[in-house]
Structure 1
Amino acid sequence: MILSRLGDLDAAEEHLHLALDIHGLDRRRTRAIVLADLGGVRLRQGDVDGAMATWRDFLGCADGIRSVKVQAALQDMRVRLRRHSGVPEAQELRERAARAGG
């Protein structure tokens, strides 16, 4: 995420994909957080559809996980999606995040 903060979104996305490969399904909390971060990077790149698809995966992965980081990621996602309130999928994701505890 340092690369993302420095503005190198392509490198950030590449590293997040590598993290997903490293942290398989056996580490759901880590995978969920990486997916949440990847969704944010994709949104900053202007890939709204890609961000929503990634956040949909994040919500599925985060289901049932009780973690401060996951809760923060849920809240962050909801805030970012407010700008896209006219998009039905964005509203659906915000509602799912709210139900998950974000």
Structure 2
Amino acid sequence: MAEAGEDELAAAEEQLRLALGIHGLDRGRTRAIVLAGLGHVQLEQGDTGRALATWQAFLDCATGVRSVRVDNGPAGITARLRSVPAGPAAQALRERIAGLG
């Protein structure tokens, strides 16, 4: 897959943020899916700290949600975490995901 340009990533982030702000986007499944995608975009933009925080929010939101897409989220995050330098926030996220299994 080709890397997205900075403008495309900024547009994607804006769209995901707007989706989070939509009144009524309180269904856990939808909100969790948006948060997972937003974290990926933030990581692609090089904002590791925000991505990790967003993925923590994803895990909070995903608790108790029954959905294949949400269930697959932690595996996708784990794969992306391989490129994240070690640090307390990354380690906390890794441990939290490991505790899900």
Question: For the superposition of Structure 1 and Structure 2, which TM-score range results when normalised by the shorter chain?
Answer: 0.7 to 0.9
Quick check: which one's helix share is greater? 1
Percent identity over paired residues: 58
Farther-moved stretch of structure 1 (46-55 vs 59-68): 59-68
TM-score (ref. length: structure 2): 0.84
The equivalent of 2:31 in structure 1 is: 31
Q: Tell me, which stretches of 5 or more residues in structure 1 are unaligned?
A: none
Q: Tell me, which stretches of 5 or more residues in structure 2 are unaligned?
A: none
Aligned structure 1 segments of 4 or more residues deviating by more than 6 angstroms: none
CA RMSD in angstroms comes to 1.8
In the TM superposition, what whole-angstrom CA distance separates every residue of 1:57-98 from its partner, at most 9, and x where no partner exists?
Answer: 111111111211012211111111122252121121122123
Distance 1:23 1:90, change over 3 A: farther
Equivalent runs, 1:31-70 vs 2, <5 Å: 31-70=31-70
Question: Between Structure 1 and Structure 2, whose CA radius of gyration is higher?
Answer: 2
CA contact (8 A) 1:24 1:31 kept: no
Opposite residue 53 of structure 1, the aligned amino acid is: A
- In the alignment, the residues of structure 1 paired with residue 57 and residue 67 of structure 2 have an alpha-carbon distance, to the nearest angstrom, of 17
TM-score (ref. length: structure 1): 0.84
